[in-house]
Amino acid sequence: MEDTLVIQTVNRTPSKKIGPRIAIFPYRSFGKREYFFYVILGIIAVSLPLSYGMNRLYYGYAKFGVVAAHSWARPWFVIAGFALISFLLLMVHRMRLASRFIAIHDQGIFLSLSVPAEYRWEQLAGISASVSKPNFLGRKLRHRYKATIYPNVGKPIRLTDIYTHFPEFLTHFKAKFYPRILPVLKTSYKAGQWVYFGPIAIHKDKLAIRKRQYQWSEVQLVSINEGRLVVEWANREKMNIPVARIPNVEILLQMIDTGVIE
């Protein structure tokens, strides 16, 4: 594992409403390799226009005098100045990102993002997650994880594996959240109500996909394959829906498999 730079940050503390912290998942560390990459990039971005500007300054001074030299060199010095300012802003932004984290608490979750926020478990409607393994020039790269948290009120919160140990975060989140929401969904289902999972909804008698309803007798199998929920029918082609769009997909499969029968 590469060495990392220690960055002092302002500690953002959650309230006592969400209980003690169980696990914390910080933003990816500002490693030395990344640091030197930024520095080299900054040196190149600044030195190229600066060097050319100096060249134009000396040439203009030697051949045409001070006025021409300053006139020819000034635009390149301005470009070098903008490059330096951009480099410094980029470094500050990366260091600010390094102060972010997400944390699982006993009674909720704390998100130290651009704007810190916390949610008790009962303030959340669900979570969807997906994993992919991208290819680059025929070479498979490492698995990439994405997740979306759905509050009861407000916009969805999208997270990626830019946070360390992200799969572990998903495991912790679901282990704390699912046992709290499952009884509520079971009660609604048994009462003959529709239970919604994003584009999918289930009822005792029917399955709805994107608001179109089907009888359960038409469904042969519902499973997950390569990041997609696959619905196999008795007399039509399979239907595929990305699991990234389906909140609480594990609960959906459990309720379909068991029929919510104790």
**Structure pTM?**
0.76
Please choose, from the candidates 254, 207, 248, the residue with its C-alpha nearest in 3D space to the C-alpha of residue 231. Answer: 207
Instruction: Please state, in angstroms and rounded to a whole number, the distance separating the CA atoms of residues 156 and 238.
Output: 29
Type of residue found at 27: Y
Listed range (31-40, 86-95, 144-153) with the worst mean pLDDT = 31-40
Instruction: Please state, in angstroms and rounded to a whole number, the distance separating the CA atoms of residues 177 and 125.
Output: 9
Instruction: Please state, in angstroms and rounded to a whole number, the distance separating the CA atoms of residues 128 and 93.
Output: 28
State pLDDT tens for residues 138-167.
666 667 899 999 999 999 999 999 999 999
Instruction: Please state, in angstroms and rounded to a whole number, the distance separating the CA atoms of residues 84 and 45.
Output: 8
**239, 190 in Cβ contact below 8 A?**
no
For residue 133 the two structure tokens come to: 């393994």
How high is the pLDDT of residue 137? Answer: 61
For residue 14 the two structure tokens come to: 């959650």
Listed range (9-23, 24-38, 216-230) with the worst mean pLDDT = 9-23
Strand partners, 244: none
CB under 8 Å, gap of 24 or more: what pairs does 165-169 form?
A: 165/25, 166/25, 168/23, 168/25, 169/23, 169/25, 169/102, 169/104
Residue 135 has pLDDT above 80, yes or no: no
Q: Please count the CA atoms within 13 angstroms of the CA of 233 that sit on its side-chain side.
A: 11
Give me the residue label for tokens 């309230």: 15
198: left (phi over 0), alpha (psi -120 to 50) or beta: left
